[in-house]
Amino acid sequence: MTEMKKVSEMSSEEIKEAVKQNYKRVAQPSGGSCCPSPSAEQTEQTSSSCCGPEAKASDPRTSYAEELGYSVRDMPESATESFAGCGNPVAVASLKEGEVVLDLGSGAGLDMFHAARRVGETGRVIGVDMTPAMIEKAKYGAEQLGLENVEFRLGDIEDLPVEDGSVDVIISNCVINLAPDKGKVFEEAYRVLRPGGRVMVSDIVLETPLPEDVHDDISYYAGCIGGAILKEEYLQLMRDVGFEDVWIVEEAGCGPAVSAKIAAYKPK
């Protein structure tokens, strides 16, 4: 059996390639979830994220329906079967008619579709994802819904294919933990937001450091746990690029890895 390379020995490009391959699989029909199969010991060490015993928290058929006040049965199966989020940023983003929304790591498009309904015909939702199979799947879902206010861009959230100051709200669901350079993601988010614009992301953050074997395991990294950083470090990285009023709106889970909804504002 070939030994897998440790994450700490991989370049950023190698990590991103492994993440891409994982989400190419998740984009297939019945491609499975984002999560690796943990050993019993690792489950104990990491419990409570999208990969822990509370995995139903990321099931769009339960949490989304409750939080958004309508059924996800209205959504195409292509979007729900490949959903890989760990929260529901749209539920707390207070989106308004006419706003321009950017979804970082939009996957099969479920959050974009909810957002598109909220911002209406005068608004627009842009999704950026680096996995071509996810972009294709999200485009298919948008066609099924007949949405004309959504747009999909293949790209890296560390180098956004988006104009400076052109976005009102940034959402993201369980993606920033996957970026090797999270500071760069926040710099880019700050650049593309208009003054006074806001961020509302769901992501996995850590209460305490992960055991080294979990942190160094690429399947855990691609499964949204291994790349997660300490909560305070995450918030500080956002403040460092200029965001203010950075705070945790909600938090779920009880292990070292928790799912948090995080808000931040670009000064006016």
Ligand X SMILES: C[S@@+](CC[C@H](N)C(=O)[O-])C[C@H]1O[C@@H](n2cnc3c(N)ncnc32)[C@H](O)[C@@H]1O
Which of positions 20-59 make contact with ligand X (CB under 6 A)?
23, 34
**Secondary structure of the chain: what % helix, strand, coil (to 5)?**
40, 20, 40
Q: How far is the CB of 266 from ligand X (least distance, A)?
A: 21
CA distance 152 to 106: 9
178 binds ligand X (CB under 6 A): yes
Closest CA to 250 of 75, 62, 57, 53: 57
3-class DSSP assignment, residue 81 = helix
Binding mask 127-166 for ligand X (x = CB under 6 A): -xxxx--x---------------------xxx--------
Radius of gyration of the chain (CA): 17
Dihedral sign, CA of 153, 233, 247, 193? negative
Q: How far is the CB of 253 from ligand X (least distance, A)?
A: 16
Binding segment toward ligand X, per CB under 6 A, in 67-75, 80-88, 117-125, 144-152: 80-88
Interface residue with ligand X among 102, 179, 214, 235 (CB under 6 A) is 179
173 binds ligand X (CB under 6 A): yes
200 binds ligand X (CB under 6 A): no
Q: CB of 268 within 8 A of CB of 196? A: yes
197 binds ligand X (CB under 6 A): no
Q: How far is the CB of 1 from ligand X (least distance, A)?
A: 27
Q: CB of 182 within 8 A of CB of 234? A: yes
110 binds ligand X (CB under 6 A): yes
Closest CA to 103 of 122, 121, 123: 123
83 binds ligand X (CB under 6 A): yes
Residues near ligand X, by CB under 6 A: 16, 19, 23, 34, 83-85, 105-108, 110-111, 128-131, 134, 156-158, 173-175, 178-179, 224
